Amino acid sequence: MKTFIKAIAAGVAIALGGTIYLTLDNRIAGSFLFSIGLFTIYTFGFFLFTGKVCYIISEKPSYLVDILIVYIGNLVGTVGCGLLFHETKLLNLTKHASEIVELKLSDTLLSTFIMAFFCGVMMCIAVVGFQTIKDSVGRHLALILPIMVFILSGFEHSIADMFYFTMADAWSEKAALYILVISIGNLAGGITIPCLKKYFREELSVSH
């Protein structure tokens, strides 16, 4: 239950980041301020799907159950915020959200997967960097810069997209399929660097 609650909180944090992004015309400023979501999550120890997947390679198989719980919690947090915001003056963000979602749903599934994969890579750099770099400035740059890169590049983040789809009132079977593809792409991208690190570590130990 604690995992689920922390996952819901992370979904809310991402929704808040997505909200500020939707309010701004300047994409650079929007991508920078979006990172408040990740800052909140990793400062207070909340659980985000695209961060948790980075550690799959080093955890036991039972960790996959935690991943599923976190994913569902993130869904509840983002969708819940989107529905609540529909009851406020933030409803005026629906037009911008609809434009973003229309572009996402007009993409091919292959392109969507690739864009999600590289978002997963950027998320891994951000999360692992923030949690391992000792220098305070370096830690926060590691958290912010990859987030700005994936947003400005148009890479697909499954949890953020859940919020955008809700704000745009665009959920459908097609939308659910795209979210699933994006989620798989995020997972694949998120474990790529850890897998490479483990492989080269093992190769190095064998060569010695």
Give the pLDDT score at 136. Answer: 84
Residue 207 reports pLDDT greater than 80: no
What's the mean pLDDT in 36-59? 93
Over pLDDT 90: what percentage of the chain?
Answer: 83
Question: Residue 192 maps to which CATH number?
Answer: 1.20.1080.10
Give the pLDDT score at 135. Answer: 86
CA 23 to chain centre: 19
Give 18's pLDDT tier (boundaries 50, 70, 90): very high
Q: Which of 28-37, 60-69, 142-151, 191-200 has the lowest mean pLDDT?
A: 191-200
What residue numbers bound the domain in which 123 lies? 2-207
Alpha helices in 86-172 (DSSP H): 94-105, 109-132, 136-152, 158-167
**Other beta carbons less than 10 A from residue 98's beta carbon:** 16
Over pLDDT 70: what percentage of the chain?
Answer: 96
Name every residue whose Cβ is closer than 8 Å to that of residue 79 and which is 6 or more positions away in sequence: 11, 162, 163, 166
What's the mean per-residue pLDDT of the chain?
Answer: 93
Name every residue whose Cβ is closer than 8 Å to that of residue 172 and which is 6 or more positions away in sequence: none
Q: Distance of CA 110 to CAs 27, 116, 142, 178, 182, Å?
A: 25, 10, 28, 10, 10
Number of domains in the chain: 1
**Other beta carbons less than 10 A from residue 23's beta carbon:** 13
Q: Give per-residue pLDDT as tens, 125-155.
A: 999 998 888 888 888 898 899 999 999 999 9
Residue 205 reports pLDDT greater than 90: no
Structure tokens at 73: 């919690």
